[in-house]
């Protein structure tokens, strides 16, 4: 539950004052430091509150569900918060630790068979439920990624075809000198593969830089330690394999076409 923190630094020291931990973003924005006294209330402008000492700053967790939320978080003692918001002896949830997976199952069964008005869930089930926002974003990224791959593939195919087409006269000369079709095709394919490898390496370097920039920028914008862009081995492998397949494929197609054409025709005569 959120507490509206009314910024009021008090001068009178009270020996019974309790402590709270506040969001580091709140500390930064409201210029509050550890040891400062603040007045907390459950409603804006309310006089019914408590003066507490800020004893710790808490860092925002890397929770995808919280990225777009800008609210501050405050951590208080349970009874302190219950008193403040008139919640009585109620809580929103319990976290229960068990000894082993079997104990988790039996605890779930025992609680759910006797519970009324509440339910026990496995932590991993809750994690799946709360990360649904991120799953949607992930699906969206995959769809965008697919479109980008199609566009890149066509682009790469076009460039490779043009690159090989430019070699018409070279290929004609080689053929007239007695170089076999196989050698010509192999040479062109190797050139295409080399281009694809060099392009892939450059692409990985650019994406590495871009990834660092994206993480730096969005971690700053959303004030979160969450990573927005990660370059993983499967992603690098996919990119390299795709560019190699497309590059070699385009090179092979174009070189076969050239190798089949009579050298004189390639000279344009």
Partner 1 sequence: MMRFELAWSSLRRHATRTILATLGVAVAAAMLLDMVMMSTGMRESFRELLLSRGFQVRLAPKGTLPFDTDATIENTSRIVTLLRTNPQIVTISPVLGGTIQIQVGNRIVTSAALGIDPLVQGDYELLSGKDPVADDAIVGNDDFIRAAGARIGDTLTVASGYDAQLRTFASERRLVLTGRVRFLYGATNQLATAMRLATLQAMSGPERTDDASLFMIKVRDEAQVETAREWMERAIPSVSAISTSTALAQVDQRLSYFRQLAVILGSVSLFVGFLLVTTLVTVSVNERIGEITVMRALGVSRAHVVQQIVLEAIALMLAGSIAGLGLGLATAHYLNAILSSFPGLPTAINFFLFQPKSAWTALGLLALSGIAAGIYPSFRAASLPIATTLRQEAIA
Binding footprint of partner 1 on the chain (CB under 8 A): 1-2, 4, 43-45, 67-71, 86, 115-118, 132-133, 136, 139-140, 143-144, 147-148, 150-152, 154-155, 157-159, 161-162, 165-166, 169, 218, 221-222
Of the candidates 33, 45, 43, 42, which has an alpha carbon nearest to the alpha carbon of residue 9? 33
Q: Is the CB of 42 or the CB of 200 nearer to partner 1?
A: 42
Please give the structure tokens belonging to residue 101: 């997976």
Q: Which is closer to partner 1, CB of 55 or CB of 157?
A: 157
**Cα angle, residue 150 at apex, residues 145 and 152 outer, rounded to 5°:** 90
DSSP 8-state secondary structure symbol assigned to residue 44: T
Whole-number minimum distance, CB 16 to partner 1, in Å? Answer: 26
d(CA 207, CA 210): 5
* Residue 116 or 182 with smaller CB distance to partner 1: 116
Place of tokens 């990225």: 67
Contact criterion met (CB below 8 Å) for 5 and 72:
yes
**Which CB, 197 or 226, lies closer to partner 1?**
226
CB of 101 to partner 1, least distance (A): 27
Strands 19-23 and 49-58: parallel
Quote the least distance from Cβ 249 to partner 1, whole Å. 13
Residue labelled with tokens 């000894």: 99
Q: Which is nearer to partner 1, 55 or 82 (CB)?
A: 82
CB of 195 to partner 1, least distance (A): 14
- Residue 146: which residues within 8 A CB-CB, separation 6 or more? none
Which tokens hold the place of 20?
A: 């709270």
Q: How far is the CB of 184 from partner 1 (least distance, A)?
A: 20
Give me 134's structure tokens.
Answer: 């991120």
CA-wise closest residue to 3 among 59, 91, 84 = 84
Q: Which is nearer to partner 1, 85 or 240 (CB)?
A: 85
């Amino acid at each position: 539950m959120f507490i509206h923190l009314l910024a009021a630094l008090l001068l009178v020291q009270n020996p019974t004052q309790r402590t709270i931990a506040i969001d580091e973003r709140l500390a930064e924005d409201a210029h509050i430091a550890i040891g400062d006294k603040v007045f907390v209330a459950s409603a804006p402008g309310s006089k019914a509150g408590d003066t507490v000492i800020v004893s710790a700053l808490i860092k925002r967790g890397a929770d995808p569900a919280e990225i777009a939320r800008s609210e501050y978080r405050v951590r208080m003692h349970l009874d302190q918060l219950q008193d403040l918001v008139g919640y009585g002896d109620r809580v929103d949830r319990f976290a229960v630790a068990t000894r082993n997976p079997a104990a988790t199952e039996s605890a779930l069964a025992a609680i759910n068979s006797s519970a009324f008005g509440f339910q026990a869930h496995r932590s991993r089930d809750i994690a799946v439920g709360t990360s649904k926002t991120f799953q949607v974003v992930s699906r969206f990224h995959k769809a965008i990624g697919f479109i980008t791959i199609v566009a890149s593939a066509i682009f790469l195919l076009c460039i490779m075809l043009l690159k090989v087409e430019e070699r018409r006269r070279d290929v004609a000369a080689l053929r007239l000198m007695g170089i076999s079709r196989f050698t010509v095709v192999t040479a062109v394919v190797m050139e295409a593969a080399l281009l694809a490898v060099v392009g892939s390496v450059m692409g990985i370097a650019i994406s590495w830089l871009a990834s660092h920039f994206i993480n730096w920028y969005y971690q700053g914008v959303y004030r979160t330690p969450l990573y927005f862009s990660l370059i993983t081995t499967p992603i690098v492998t996919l990119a390299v394999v795709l560019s190699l397949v497309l590059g070699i494929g385009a090179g092979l197609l174009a070189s076969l076409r050239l190798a089949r054409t009579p050298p004189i025709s390639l000279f344009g005569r």
